[in-house]
Amino acid sequence: MSACVFSSLLTVLCLGLYGKYTYAETCPDPILSPPSLLVEYGSPAEVNCSIPNKPETKYILGWESKSSQPQTNNETSVMWKVDRLTSWEDAEGFGCYFTVGRNQCMSYVHLTIYKRPDRVTLSSGSDVVVEGNQTELRCEIENVGPGGKLSVRWSRADPKQNNTFTHFSDTSFPDLVNELMSVNKTVKLTVTPSREDDGVQYQCAAVLNLDQHPHVFTSQPITITVHYKPVIAEPLDTTVILAEGEMLVVNCSAHGNPSPSLSLDFT
């Protein structure tokens, strides 16, 4: 029962007009466990949402989600759970709400859904390139996501350096920065091989730059053969004077690709 007290200063103090203290007067944010989630597309996932205490007035504690919307009006926690997470839309606006009286509080889950590419394939315009000519490397990535986290890493391995792959270039996609779903992407890179690149292997990788650490999915390597003009190692143009009947021995060598044929011309 409400009670009003009149003081000598004609100040009215009204006590208990609204009964006991309730959540209607303050709205705590729901507690998420875990608050962030990294889930592979098609895998199970779950997040719990709770409040510290049960309100004395009517309330609803529930989930906003494309795939599942559980709620409760008599418990202090509610679990969001799916056997297979296949809704890319859940990565945006996914959260738990607590409604009591006219107030509603919301806590959002930082959810990242990722999908391994179905395939990463590297090809070239030609497996054989003439020194100094350009050739195009083509990296095809199928059904990988989210597109906003995708980049491509280019690597090469030199047989003269133990065939160890080293990273030499990256390709990013500013046009996909807000893309939450999976994408198909074909990326091209132009290279101009020299004779030192003969036998070099190239490789591309789809990289998902996720919050914890990058996920890297690599293509099979391809090998580039470089054709270049022969270089005569010996002998250089020279004049040799011999006595009659003296034997002449000449070593002739040259390097080129394809391997050159050699002949001697005496004048």
| pLDDT confidence of residue 109 | 96
Contact between 113 and 90 under an 8 Å Cβ cutoff? The reply is yes
Q: What is the mean pLDDT of residues 71-97?
A: 94
Q: Any bridge partners for residue 135, and if so which?
A: 191
pLDDT-derived band of residue 267, with 50, 70 and 90 as boundaries? low
Confidence band, pLDDT 50/70/90 cuts, at residue 106: very high
Please tell me which residue, 250 or 58, carries the higher pLDDT value. Answer: 58
Which residue would you say has higher pLDDT here, 261 or 158? 158
Q: How far is CA 197 from CA 21, 257, 263, in A?
A: 78, 12, 28
**pLDDT confidence band for 250 (50 / 70 / 90):** low
Name the architecture of domain 31-114: Sandwich (2.60)
Across the chain, mean pLDDT equals 84
The percentage of the chain sitting over the pLDDT mark of 70, rounded to a whole number, equals 79
Please compute the mean of the pLDDT values over residues 102-116 and round it to a whole number: 94
Angstrom distance (rounded) from CA 98 to CA 108: 12
Residue 19: pLDDT band with limits 50, 70, 90: very low
Q: How confident is the model at residue 23 (pLDDT cuts 50, 70, 90)?
A: very low
Residue 41 has pLDDT above 70, yes or no: yes
- Residues 6 or more apart whose CB falls under 8 angstroms from that of 74 comprise 54
CATH 2.60.40.10 segments of the chain: 31-114, 119-228
Written as six digits, the tokens of 181 are 């779903």
| Neighbouring C-alpha atoms within 13 Å toward the C-beta of 177 | 3
Q: Flag whether pLDDT at 78 surpasses 80.
A: yes
* Mean pLDDT computed over 105-110: 95
pLDDT in tens, 197-249: 888 999 999 999 997 789 999 999 999 998 878 777 666 566 667 677 777 66
Domain 119-228 has CATH 1.10.1200.10: no
Dihedral-angle region of residue 16 (phi above 0 means left; psi in -120 to 50 means alpha; beta otherwise): left
* 110 vs 212, more confident: 110
Kindly indicate the confidence band of residue 35, based on its pLDDT and cuts at 50, 70 and 90: very high
8: confidence class by pLDDT, cuts 50, 70, 90 = very low
Residue 129: pLDDT over 50: yes
Contact 56, 41 (CB under 8 A): no
Region 46-62: what's the mean pLDDT?
93
